[in-house]
């Protein structure tokens, strides 16, 4: 009876050892296959815990500017160290030390991060996907470079928002910003004013020199006007030879002074082909309760009054 018991224990021990061996072998093969997958992946791919980078492919090492995993780990314990603060992107502070767990459990398919490569020092955008492995709180992290897509979207947005000739804001973009600025001004109890101006006798320029020269004049005029504007001034092409400036934190008197400076600068400037030009200006300050149409009707009347009085002057209303 005792002999059978010992034989049973010995047999059971051998079975357990065999199971442990098989499990370890399978895990070893799994790790080898996983590391091979990481190394062969064309995107930046790595394995990490919240405190350590376990494995990273050559694509990742090259991008971050390291020759080996050891060199990387000597300076960084998390890939989030490389995340840059950027609009629409998560950074190392967004979710803190538990960012891997947060991203892996999120219903979102991916997040966006902005990372600066150590080699070329160029900021790149990535979709980051984090998947939790089944053991030891290890995470598989994939970074798919979407920089070209982001830049294409930015280029499309720029084209949609800007005038194709002068590269300042177009009327559509100006209108979309106008409501935001009204809301902001009311919240902070700040003044803002509108300056509307156009080129005097611009039709004569096109008739005399042709539309190509007319276009060149518009580009020169915009470049000249931008020099005299402040960062908070929103400058847009309203249509044809007509331009609008939304001057934030500016009352009527200050806007009139700005318009007069621009008028004098334009009058004194020597344009490449036509040499001398003047502009007429209408100026009006937003009053609480004004609709956009009421404000623009007022500034439009001021501009036409400036023209009726002989042009090359500033009229306020």
Residues forming the active site: 241
DSSP string computed for the chain: -HHHHHHHHHHHHHHHHHHHHHHHHHHHHHHHHHHHHHHH-SSEEEEE-SS-EEEE-HHHHHHHT-SSHHHHHHH-S-GGGGEEP-TT-B-TTTSGGGHHHHHHH-SSS-EEEEEE-TTT--EEEEEEEEEE-SSTT-EEEEEEE-HHHHHHHHHHHHHHHB-TTT-SB-HHHHHHHHHHHHHHHHHHT--EEEEEEEETTHHHHHHHH-HHHHHHHHHHHHHHHHHT--TTEEEEEEETTEEEEEEET--HHHHHHHHHHHHHHHHH--BTTTB---EEEEEEE--TT--HHHHHHHHHHHHHHHHHTTSSSEEE-
């Amino acid at each position: 009876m005792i002999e059978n018991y010992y034989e049973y224990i010995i047999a059971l021990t051998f079975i357990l050892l065999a199971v442990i061996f098989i499990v370890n072998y399978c895990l070893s093969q799994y790790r080898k296959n996983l590391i091979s997958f990481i190394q062969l992946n064309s995107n930046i791919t790595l394995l990490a815990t919240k405190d350590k980078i376990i494995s990273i492919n050559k694509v990742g090492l090259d991008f971050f500017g390291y020759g080996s995993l050891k060199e990387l780990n000597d300076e960084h314990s998390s890939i989030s160290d490389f995340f840059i603060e950027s609009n629409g992107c998560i950074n190392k502070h967004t979710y803190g030390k538990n960012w891997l767990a947060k991203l892996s459990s999120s219903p979102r398919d991916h997040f966006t991060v902005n990372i600066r490569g150590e080699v070329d020092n160029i900021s790149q955008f990535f979709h980051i996907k984090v998947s939790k492995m089944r053991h030891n709180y290890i995470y598989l992290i994939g970074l798919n470079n979407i920089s070209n897509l982001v830049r294409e979207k930015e280029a499309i947005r720029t084209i949609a928002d800007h005038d194709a000739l002068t590269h300042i804001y177009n009327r559509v973009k100006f209108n979309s910003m106008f409501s935001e600025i009204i809301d902001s001004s009311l919240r902070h109890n700040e003044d803002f004013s509108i300056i509307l101006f156009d080129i005097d006798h611009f039709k004569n320029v096109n008739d005399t020199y042709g539309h190509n020269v007319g276009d060149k004049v518009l580009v020169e005029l915009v470049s000249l006007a931008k020099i005299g504007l402040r960062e908070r001034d929103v400058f847009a092409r309203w249509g044809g030879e007509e331009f609008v400036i939304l001057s934030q934190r500016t009352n009527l008197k200050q806007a009139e002074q700005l318009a007069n400076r621009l008028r004098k600068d334009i009058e004194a400037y020597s344009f490449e082909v036509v040499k001398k030009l003047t502009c007429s200006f209408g100026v009006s300050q937003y009053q609480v309760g004004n609709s956009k149409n009421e404000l623009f009707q007022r500034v439009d009347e001021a501009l036409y009054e400036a023209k009726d009085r002989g042009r090359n002057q500033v009229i306020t209303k």
